[in-house]
Structure 1
Amino acid sequence: MTKTVDDIVPPSPLSDDDMLFLYTGGTTGMPKGVMWRQEDLLQVLGRGGNAITGVPPADSMDEVISRVQPGGTGMKSLVACPLMHGTGQFSAFINLSMGGCVITMPNRNFDPALLWQTVQDRGVNSIVIVGQAFAGPMLESLDANPGRWNLSSVVQMGSSGVMWSQENKNALLEHIPQMLITDSFGSSEAVGMGMSVAAKGAAPKTAQFALGPNCVVFTEDGNRVAPGSGESGLVAVGGAIPVGYYKDEVKTAQTFRTFEGRRWTVPGDWAEVNTDGTLHLLGRGSVCINTGGEKVFPEEVEEMVKTHASVRDAVAVGIPDTRFGETICVVVEAEPGETPTLEELSAHVKSRLAAYKAPRNVVVISTIGRAPNGKVDYKRLKQHAIDTLGTK
């Protein structure tokens, strides 16, 4: 059914300086209110354009309107993740600014079979998710029901904010070979840090991204990390960035920093720059594990552990240790009927990563308990591991 509605007249004149407050997930602490100027947010979200589909930014609202085909709906985007999350909200804004249509799930709980049915029934073109927490069950549903749904309308699937494995992407592309998978590296306060694009037969490695045009990796003393140097640094994005965090001057100063005489968003992600200029993401420094003087980023260990056949989901945490300061413990949600052992998982990690990154303890849990946005509560799971192991 189609109907026309009157234009909404705001109670006061609108301005480029009007603010949108987007609250972070609070994965590693209390949620923070990110203050985006409307003009800056429009800028980083593409101004009605889309680089993946080759649509350039629009110079005016009239230009956006002129791109909409009479009687058409534009791109149909199914935003499967919560709209309160930056990935869902910003993806919806991008599609709406292109004259597209946003579709949401009809229920509150994530149901992959219902998602695929919605894709078929609505002729969805683009699917927005948040990493492995969504993509894993979606793949299981397709594997269990081959050919059940007509997915020929899908041309793109996108995610941002969390890790998404190469293996999962490859398997999804077997089911939907015509689509592109876009994996964006960003956060509520840092949009456009990097992106990887996967097509059937050409999925990039996990945590490998092409640097965004305004993205740089800095050492802690403010020097740029050279490609191929093997040096790690903090990822920073410049250009149109938020004003800061609402009523939190301390955290604003920590995240929005000045290097080379200009202001950057530095959300705390560590990375190396490969020889070809691409980014190898290591992880968030606030949850980094320091074991025997070596820094270990949980995400790297987690992605390796999750490739073991007995593991459904996993989180790596640091456990206090009198000799090493901390040791690595993986909290594991096992596949049904499986009981992964420390010996198995340690050997599995050592087969691909340095030996010091292997877990020294394993705690099996009924569910990792990811939030609707795919994030995990590291503090809660670390305390659970400490309590289970009897560590002080």
Structure 2
Amino acid sequence: MTNPYNTDLDRTPANYQPLTPLTFLERAANVFPDHTAIVHGALRRSYAEFYARSRRLASALTKNGIRRGDTVSALLPNTPAMLECHYGVPMCGAVLHSINTRLDAAIIAFQLDHAMAKIVIVDSEFMPLLQEALSLAQVAPLVIQVDDPEYDGPRTEVEVADYEVFLTRGNPDFDWLMPEDEWDAISINYTSGTTGDPKGVVSHHRGAYLLAQGNALTTSMKKHAVYLWTLPMFHCNGWCFPWTLSAIVGTHVCLRQVRAEPIWSALAEEEVTHLCGAPIVMSLLIGAPDAAKRDLSHTVQFFTAAAPPPESVLAAMKEAGFDVTHLYGLTETYGPAVVNDWHRDWSDLPADQQATLKARQGVRYLPLEGLDVLDPDTMQPVPRDGQTMGEVMFRGNVVMKGYFRNPTATQKAFEGGWFHSGDLGVRHPDGYIQLKDRSKDIIISGGENISSIEVEEALYRHPAVGTAAVVAMPHDKWGETPCAFVELKPGQQADSETLRAWCRSQLAPYKVPGRFVFTEIPRTSTGKIQKFVLREQARQPEFT
């Protein structure tokens, strides 16, 4: 039977427009043109200026041949230019590729080639890194350099386009492009895996629109909230907060580097209300010298992901004026899509019980339609007993389009109508989920994902290494750090410093193991390495 409510009631421009977070900035600039949108050192930039510069960028990119579906890469710290890229690039129909500034040149070259980058916008600090990457890449994109006045380090003199000059070629009243379909790509972000299958996560306008609003609802951000950029914007597009802040007409406070003194100064002087970061940022704040700390006149909302912070850190953060909330998500879910929603009566519980509750990842964000822990073989939910493990799976509008140019990986990730996270967890009787292990052995160090396989492959390239197994080892500062168990080949010799130097030549610095253990590696009867045994060993207090 035909649905009568679908008869003669069609989509038209009057009643349907594609969802896109770009409209948030347009509205903010029209309604609150003089409100401060961006703070960066001495710089104060209004929403009218922010919108005009973003339109200039879109216009200039268009004049340089950028069309719908082209990739524009950004190798930038948390600066105003990075915020402008989050609007100006998709405003001309292009797709923003934010590059992790901590990666090595070979990995960046791989990403540029795989994403087919047409233009790269780079901060002057990272120009040498980009030059090395381009010497290894197949693509030859136009390079535009941002000379940030807050950067006081060495500069490499190269003949490339200047960002500010480039903007002058654009029209501040540019009639920017709405997506043809809200399913159109808005960004591509690469997961930590860089060998084997390329994993370029494609996000769409609809998902970015929904998660940006979901952030505001989940974090209780009021109109004109002030957000401090300690979370890198290259991480899942800053968890969509570059778009969230325009929705609530808030203020971005930019920071080039995450250091204790400027963070405390910004918290007090700019009256910051919200910030996000890995547990290491909390340790940085509470471990700062007393001279750097500032008294806060208000409670600051701090949102963290990765490994849950220990009870002592939570207590110290509360005493310092922060309310900490645990989030969880992946690049494939636009950043956090799960929140440890706190119940008021939990605050009356003893501190150790509160810490236990805060260690859980939580429940789904409002814009996420489905979150469950399923048996990956039967695709049935595991019992809600807090003990039976299964795979955490997601379903909804804030799940990626898929992996760019990798249909096999996309199909595998979406088997059974759910996105398979690869994370193993349990579900408690109240519905809250808690991670217990990572099926892909990802190590989260200072908020950065490290593939144990990638580190192992680097070790295997050393001529003295016969077998290598890398697991997570607890670390007071970084939360986790790689620990490498190594069996040397017969007749070969190598010590920790030799392998550490080797890894430094093969990997980004944060991926280098913090400890090397030369031992016989435990195996099953079929020869498979028993990583669970190594993980338990690495977690023992006497080991660390």
**Global fold match (TM > 0.5):** yes
Equivalent in the alignment of 1:255: 413
Instruction: Find the aligned partners of 2:415 and 2:360 in 1 and give their Cα distance.
Output: 25
1:242 CA displacement: 1.2
Residue among 314, 325, 338 paired with 1:182: 325
Contact 2:475–2:481 (8 Å) recurs in 1 = no
Q: Which residue of 2 aligns with 1:274?
A: 428
The 8 Å contact of residues 48 and 97 in structure 1, kept in 2 or not, is answered as no
Q: Which residue of 1 aligns with 2:404?
A: 246
Q: Which runs of 5+ in 2 are unaligned?
A: 1-43, 56-173, 443-451, 453-469, 489-495, 522-544
Counterparts of 1:251 and 1:49, CA distance in 2: 32
5 Å-filtered alignment, 1:44-83, equals: 44-46=211-213, 49-53=216-220, 74-83=224-233
Over the matched positions of the two proteins, sequence identity in percent amounts to 14
Aligned residue for 2:233, secondary structure, equals: coil
Give the residue type in structure 2 aligned to 1:264: W
1:240-262 superposed Cα distances (whole Å, 9 cap, x missing partner): 1211011122322232222xxxx
Compared with structure 1, are the counterparts of its residues 120 and 54 closer, same or farther at alpha carbon in structure 2 (3 Å cutoff)? closer
Instruction: Tell me what 1:195 maps to.
Output: 339
Q: CA RMSD in A?
A: 3.9
SS of equivalent residue, structure 1 residue 77: strand
Aligned partner of 2:530 in structure 1 is none
Residue 46 of structure 1 aligns with an amino acid whose one-letter code is Q
Match of 1:14 among 179, 183, 205: 179
Equivalent position of 2:284 in the other structure:
137
The equivalent of 1:125 in structure 2 is 273
Normalising by the residue count of structure 2, what TM-score does the alignment of the two structures yield?
Answer: 0.48
Distance 1:48 1:134, change over 3 A: closer
Larger Rg: 2
Q: Distance in 2 between matches of 1:150 and 1:203?
A: 25
2:316 pairs with 1:164: no
CA distance in 2, matches of 1:248, 1:206: 37
Instruction: Give the deviation of 1:162 after TM superposition.
Output: 4.7
Structure 1 runs of 4+ off > 6 angstroms? none
Relative to structure 1, the CA distance from residue 25 to residue 162 in structure 2 (aligned partners, 3 Å threshold; closer, same or farther) is farther
Q: Deviations over 1:130-156 (max 9, x none)?
A: x22222222201xx3179413224431
Q: 1:314 to 1:189 in 2, by over 3 A?
A: closer
Higher mean Cα deviation, 46-55 or 150-159? 46-55
Query: Would you say the 8 A contact 1:180–1:197 is kept in 2?
Result: no
Whether contact under 8 Å (1:197, 1:204) holds in the other structure is no
Q: Which residue identity does 2:235 align to in structure 1? A: H
CA distance in 2, matches of 1:224, 1:80: 37
In the alignment, is residue 381 of structure 1 matched against residue 537 of structure 2? no
Whether the 8 Å contact between 1:34 and 1:245 is mirrored in structure 2 is yes
The answer on whether the counterparts of 1:49 and 1:98 sit within 8 Å (CA) in structure 2 is yes
- Paired residues of 2:340 and 2:358 also in contact (CA < 8 A): no
Q: Tell whether the 8 Å contact from 2:328 to 2:338 is kept in structure 1 after alignment.
A: yes
Tell me how far apart the structure 2 counterparts of residues 321 and 272 of structure 1 sit (CA, whole Å): 34
Q: Distance between the aligned counterparts of 2:225 and 2:269, measured in 1?
A: 15
- Alignment TM-score, normalising by the size of structure 1: 0.65
Number of residue pairs matched? 302
Corresponding letter in the other structure for 2:409? K
Q: Which residue of 1 aligns with 2:97?
A: none
Alpha-carbon spacing, 1:47–1:271, altered in 2? closer, same or farther (3 Å): closer
Distance in 2 of aligned mates of 1:312 and 1:43: 31
Report the Cα distance in structure 1 between the residues aligned to 2:475 and 2:383, rounded to whole angstroms: 31
Note closer, same or farther for the CA distance 1:25–1:112 as it changes in structure 2 (3 Å cut): farther
What amino acid is the match of 1:187? L
Q: Partners in 2 of 1:43 and 1:2 — Cα distance?
A: 26
Provide the C-alpha distance between the structure 1 equivalents of 2:386 and 2:264, rounded to a whole number of angstroms: 44
